[in-house]
Structure 1
Amino acid sequence: MSMTHFPADRTAYVRAHLWLALGAMAGATLILWLIGNPYVWTGLVAGAGAIALRGFYLASEELAAVWAIEGHDLTGPGGQRISLARIETIRTIGSFVQVITRDGHKYLIKYQADPQATMTAIERARA
């Protein structure tokens, strides 16, 4: 029986962190401006630095995550196993694919190079 794998993609990981950094930079700068800090430019440095540090420390864990379709189950990191028959909703959110089961449990397949293709493969396996 063949398995379909959905590994995390480094390019999607970096792209997601660039967007996070832009948001953090804008947010930090806005807060400093609103409170009247004369050094609003430090918000740019703080936002970029915080997300860069986060990305660096989490990269090895996040990029090692691999989801797969194994028989009638969707398996993920940490021993997660979801019966394909229990899946109610599948949708993309940026580079993530969100899987929601009939009992309301939610799972994220993160940093997919082609989240639409991942979603389509899961939907095809469910059929």
Structure 2
Amino acid sequence: MDTILDPGEEVLATFTGNMTTYIKEHVMLAAIGSVLAVALLMVLGNEHAWTGVVGAVAAIAVRGIYVASEQVGMTWTLTNRRVISPAEVPIPLSEIEKVRTIFSAAQIVTRSGDKYMLKYQTDPKETAATIEGAKR
């Protein structure tokens, strides 16, 4: 998708998800899911609580493989006037209230309360700082 810019608008940066970051985050999710699944099975008195690890890892792996290309292929564009989502939704810089990080994502919060996630960033703090810097 080629972003159409307004006259006088300049691209300052683009942000695309990173496959290595995507994999690392899914490994972390599988580990957390494994602990929670085993704990739940133990509380329920299941003699085979170890199966929680198998189930959690399998579920996260299947999901991760299934949506990897879709999630990592999303590109956000930052211009001197707005942030443009992969779906071409424009977010004017003047409407951005704050940008924060959550794990490997930078989250844009608008004045109206809308939230947008730039997922699987190699350096989400740098992504957030770049967007914040463009607001000035």
- Alpha-carbon distance, 1:101 to partner: 0.3
CA root-mean-square deviation: 1.0
Match of 1:54 in 2: 63
Aligned partner letter, 2:31: L
What are the within-5 Å matches in structure 2 for residues 88-127 of structure 1?
88-127=97-136
Query: Are the equivalent residues in 1 in contact too, given 2:19–2:72 (CA < 8 A)?
Result: yes
Q: Given the alignment, which residue of 9, 29, 38 partners 2:18?
A: 9
Q: Could you list the runs of 4 or more consecutive aligned residues of structure 1 that deviate by over 3 angstroms after TM superposition?
A: none
Contact conserved, 2:98 with 2:132, CA < 8 A, in 1?
no
3-state DSSP class of the match of 1:74?
strand
Aligned length: 127
The one-letter amino acid paired with 1:96 is: A
- Partner deviation per Cα, 1:28-64 (whole Å, 9 max, x = no partner): 1111111111111100100100000110001011011
Identity score, percent: 38
Amino acid at match of 1:42: T
- Cα distance in 2 for partners of 1:89, 1:126 equals 10
Residues 4-37 of structure 1 show CA distances to partners (whole Å, capped at 9, x for unaligned) of: 1001011110111011101111111111111111
Match of 2:87, SS? helix
For the pair 1:70 / 2:92, whether they are aligned, the reply is: no
Query: Between Structure 1 and Structure 2, which shows a larger proportion of helix residues?
Result: 1
SS at match of 1:16: helix
- Runs of at least 5 residues in structure 2 that lack an aligned partner in the other structure: 1-9
- SS of 1:4's partner is strand
**How does the TM-score come out when normalised to structure 2?**
0.90
